[in-house]
């Protein structure tokens, strides 16, 4: 009876120990995943901070969040527990001082809670008419940038214009002035005023950083052209489709002229043109190309009897204004005239030797349609911080078509979609995608999927991108690092999915490395270490599953017969026995000596 009671007590003790361990584990999990806050979030001493407001022109951007699009800043110093009361009022600026036609009531004021560096206090951009630039200029305009610092004792005052450092034209005390012009080939200009302290510390602040767009009646240029061909039943070659890459267009009033290298008349297509904004291009199908109803005169039927190579040049017009040209070469064949008479069979030799056994060889690239793409990834910044202005970068994906043989007429080199998995804590900047250097809207093209604290971006057009032999295809986009990011060196991976079977699958993956640090000017060895791409508990679902598993284990041990069996097994282990004796030795010395004597008796008998 006594032995049975002791076993029961031991079982209860085991259950209590296991239950206590599970309870502590659950509590720690809750504390770890839900209650831990960022360092400095609580218990922070009150201090003075500099906050600010800035004005944006809705013709440039309609949402707050990107201070580089501002045209006017006001700063104010408040206590860290106070609301920022910096005031930005468009009524303080006369209409005739702005180079924008936006109605006064449409301008928007935005607030910045904390600006860490305000040693560059203000920067104003004006045009040649001394009007304040709100974010957009004409290509022939002249920009005068005037930046004001809090001191005149800094050294190496300079302007960074599209990442190229240039000295100021004039230094007037704590002000520096620079005249900027000649914007040929540019779609935007980023201007940053900076200097260095006496200790060599760079002064970089969002207050003195601006992005200005170049205004044009045509917002896109032609970047490439592809002509697909097919062989007809009569053996002749015809063009099945023409695709022209143009990016985003502000109008669908499109016209295309086609000229040819062999003296054929120029064709003007006025209809049958399909514009695909998500894919960034326009196209014409075979039915439309060979239909005179879609041309001002003639059609591609003028090429019906052409044999040999032909260069085709397309010039695209939007609202009757040319936006550029592109060309491609097409080889026209007439298979019926290429057929040779079959040779007469030769007399068989007197002795016929058995041919050697030849192992099957893999089909050549001409027998099986295969792509030969390679991809590379680059970042405009090698190190980022978690706070503005050093918390954003531009990633560029470059896909190269390395095919050396001529592609099949019916299987051009196509890319179906591209995926990019951002590191932990990085987020995609909406509407920041550029395809071949041209802005492309997210709608119908970009899908962003969040997995815990990571994001996966997929670019998938309605019809595949076609990359000609030897040409490249680029996608660039902006990304910002948030407070959820982990300090260290991150890998950012990209995957390309072609339509055809890849010749070298490994070349369809690439990655670039980027460091997240507290201070990019002083990166520590710890911050250079690699961090995992994701964590098992980044997902809320994973946390719930862990809790459910722990609860099931606890319920099984407490209720089910299997739990009693497991408890008996644990009680009879040497580890548990040792643990129990240590516990008695500390909490109940009398019981410790009794158990020690009892456990020695069997050995003595």
Question: Whole-angstrom Cα distance, residue 326 to residue 312?
Answer: 9
Half-sphere exposure of 123 (CA within 13 A, CB side): 30
Ranking 27-36, 95-104, 182-191, 389-398 by mean pLDDT, the lowest is: 27-36
In a domain, 41, yes or no: no
Buried b (16+ CB within 10 A) or exposed e, 131-153: ebbbbbbeeebebbbbbbbeeee
Q: What is the pLDDT of residue 156?
A: 92
How many residues are recorded in the chain? Answer: 605
Q: What is the pLDDT of residue 44?
A: 43
Same domain, yes or no: 286 and 429: no
In a domain, 602, yes or no: no
- Cβ–Cβ < 8 Å for 454, 486: no
Same domain, yes or no: 65 and 163: yes
In a domain, 11, yes or no: no
In a domain, 591, yes or no: no
Q: Kindly tell me if the per-residue pLDDT of 333 is higher than 90.
A: no
Q: Kindly tell me if the per-residue pLDDT of 339 is higher than 60.
A: no
Helix-, strand-, coil-residue percentages of the chain, each rounded to 5: 20, 35, 40
Q: How many separate domains does the chain show?
A: 3
pLDDT band at 10 (very low <50, low <70, confident <90, very high): low
Q: What is the pLDDT of residue 389?
A: 76
Tell me the two tokens of residue 393: 């970068």
Same domain, yes or no: 235 and 204: no
Question: Whole-angstrom Cα distance, residue 66 to residue 480?
Answer: 11
- Could you read off the pLDDT of 362-372 as tens digits, one per residue? 444 334 457 88
Q: Kindly tell me if the per-residue pLDDT of 6 is higher than 70.
A: no
Angle between helices 2-30 and 574-587 (to 10 degrees): 90
Q: Which of 216, 122, 222 is nearest to 175 (CA)?
A: 122
Last residue of a domain, one of 182, 214, 246: 214
Last residue of a domain, one of 511, 528, 545: 528
pLDDT band at 484 (very low <50, low <70, confident <90, very high): confident
β-pairing, 237-245 vs 202-203, is unpaired
In a domain, 189, yes or no: yes
Same domain, yes or no: 74 and 101: yes
**DSSP designation for 116:** S
pLDDT band at 89 (very low <50, low <70, confident <90, very high): confident
Same domain, yes or no: 405 and 281: no
Highest mean pLDDT among 134-138, 224-228, 389-393, 587-591: 134-138
Same domain, yes or no: 192 and 261: no
Mean pLDDT of 489-496: 88
Highest mean pLDDT among 125-129, 483-487, 526-530: 125-129
CATH number at residue 115: 2.60.40.10
Last residue of a domain, one of 291, 318, 338: 338
Q: What is the pLDDT of residue 145?
A: 96
Q: Kindly tell me if the per-residue pLDDT of 206 is higher than 80.
A: yes
In a domain, 552, yes or no: no
- Cβ–Cβ < 8 Å for 308, 338: no
pLDDT band at 178 (very low <50, low <70, confident <90, very high): very high
Give the chain's mean pLDDT. 79
Q: What is the pLDDT of residue 361?
A: 47
Q: What is the pLDDT of residue 471?
A: 82
**Contact residues for 275 (Cβ-Cβ < 8 A; gap 6+):** 249, 252, 254, 281, 282
Same domain, yes or no: 306 and 242: yes
Same domain, yes or no: 296 and 246: yes
- Could you read off the pLDDT of 265-287 as tens digits, one per residue? 999 998 999 887 766 678 898 89
Q: Which residue has tokens 């360092």?
A: 39
What is the domain range of residue 68?
48-214
Q: Which residue has tokens 């004597």?
A: 597
CATH number at residue 413: 2.60.40.740
- Cβ–Cβ < 8 Å for 174, 89: no
Same domain, yes or no: 174 and 194: yes
Q: Which of 129, 131, 127 is nearest to 142 (CA)?
A: 127
Q: What is the 3-state secondary structure (H, E, C) of 519-574?
A: CCCCCCCHHHCECCCCCCCCCHHHHHHHHHHHHHHHHHHHHCHHHHHHHHHHHCCH
Q: Greater confidence, 116 or 7?
A: 116
In a domain, 561, yes or no: no
Same domain, yes or no: 188 and 237: no
Same domain, yes or no: 55 and 198: yes
> H or E segment at 17?
helix 2-30
Which CA distances in Å does 518 have to 383, 384, 515?
Answer: 10, 8, 10
Same domain, yes or no: 321 and 429: no
In a domain, 322, yes or no: yes
Ranking 43-52, 54-63, 515-524, 548-557 by mean pLDDT, the lowest is: 43-52
- Concatenated DSSP letters for 147-181? EEES-S--EEEEEEETTEEE--SEEETTEEEEEE-
Ranking 88-102, 411-425, 491-505, 544-558 by mean pLDDT, the lowest is: 544-558
Strands of 108-112's sheet in order across = 72-79, 48-56, 108-112
- Cβ–Cβ < 8 Å for 386, 520: no
pLDDT band at 574 (very low <50, low <70, confident <90, very high): confident
Maximum distance among all alpha carbons in the chain?
117
């Amino acid at each position: 009876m006594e032995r049975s009671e002791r076993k029961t007590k031991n079982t209860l003790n085991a259950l209590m120990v296991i239950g206590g361990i599970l309870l502590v584990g659950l509590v720690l999990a809750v504390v770890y995943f839900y209650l831990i806050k960022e360092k400095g979030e609580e218990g922070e001493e009150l201090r003075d901070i500099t906050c600010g407001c800035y004005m944006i022109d809705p013709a440039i951007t309609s949402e707050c969040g990107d201070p580089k699009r501002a045209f006017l800043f006001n700063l104010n110093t408040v206590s860290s527990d106070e609301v920022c009361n910096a005031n930005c009022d468009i009524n303080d600026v006369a209409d005739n001082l702005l180079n924008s036609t936006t109605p006064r009531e449409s301008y928007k004021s935005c607030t910045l809670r904390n600006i860490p560096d305000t040693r560059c206090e203000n920067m104003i951009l004006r045009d040649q008419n001394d009007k304040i630039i709100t974010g957009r200029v004409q290509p022939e305009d002249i920009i005068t940038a005037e930046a004001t610092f809090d001191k005149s004792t800094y050294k190496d005052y300079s302007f960074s214009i599209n990442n190229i450092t240039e000295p100021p034209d004039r230094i007037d005390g704590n002000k520096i002035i620079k005249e900027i012009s000649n914007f040929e080939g540019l779609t935007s200009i980023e201007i940053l005023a900076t200097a260095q302290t006496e200790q060599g510390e760079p002064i970089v602040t969002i207050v003195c950083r601006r992005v200005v767009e170049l205004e044009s009646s045509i917002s896109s240029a032609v970047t490439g052209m592809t002509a697909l061909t097919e062989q007809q039943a009569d053996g002749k070659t015809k063009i099945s489709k023409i695709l022209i890459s143009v990016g985003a267009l502000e109008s669908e009033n499109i016209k295309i002229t086609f000229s040819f290298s062999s003296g054929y008349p120029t064709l003007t297509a006025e209809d049958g043109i399909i514009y695909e904004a998500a894919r960034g291009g326009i196209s014409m199908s075979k039915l439309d190309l060979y239909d005179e109803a879609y041309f001002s005169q003639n059609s591609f039927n003028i090429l019906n009897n052409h044999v040999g190579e032909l260069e085709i040049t397309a010039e695209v017009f939007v609202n009757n204004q040319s936006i550029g040209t592109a060309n491609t070469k097409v080889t026209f064949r007439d298979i019926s005239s290429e057929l040779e008479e079959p040779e007469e069979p030769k007399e068989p030799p007197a002795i016929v030797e058995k041919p050697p056994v030849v192992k099957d060889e893999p089909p050549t690239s001409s027998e099986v349609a295969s792509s030969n793409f390679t991809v590379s990834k680059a970042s405009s910044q090698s190190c980022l911080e978690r706070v503005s202005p050093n918390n954003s970068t531009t990633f560029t994906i470059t896909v190269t078509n390395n095919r050396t043989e001529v592609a099949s007429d019916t299987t051009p080199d196509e890319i179906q979609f591209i995926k990019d998995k951002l590191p932990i804590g990085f987020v995609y900047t909406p509407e920041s995608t550029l395809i071949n250097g041209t802005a492309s809207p997210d709608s119908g093209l970009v899908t962003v999927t969040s997995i815990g604290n990571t994001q996966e971006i997929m670019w998938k057009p309605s019809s595949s991108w076609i990359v000609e032999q030897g040409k490249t295809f680029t996608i660039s986009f902006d990304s910002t690092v948030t407070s959820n990011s982990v300090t260290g060196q991150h890998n950012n991976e990209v995957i390309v999915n072609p339509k055809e079977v890849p010749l070298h699958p490994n070349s369809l993956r690439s990655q670039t490395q980027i460091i997240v640090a507290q201070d990019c000017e002083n990166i520590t060895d710890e911050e250079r270490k690699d961090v995992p791409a994701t964590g098992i508990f980044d997902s809320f679902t994973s946390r719930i599953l862990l809790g459910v598993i722990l609860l099931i284990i606890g319920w099984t041990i407490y209720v089910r017969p299997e739990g009693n069996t497991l408890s008996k097994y644990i009680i009879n282990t040497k580890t548990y026995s040792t643990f129990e004796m240590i516990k008695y030795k500390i909490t109940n010395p009398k019981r410790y000596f009794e158990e020690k004597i009892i456990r020695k008796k069997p050995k003595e008998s």
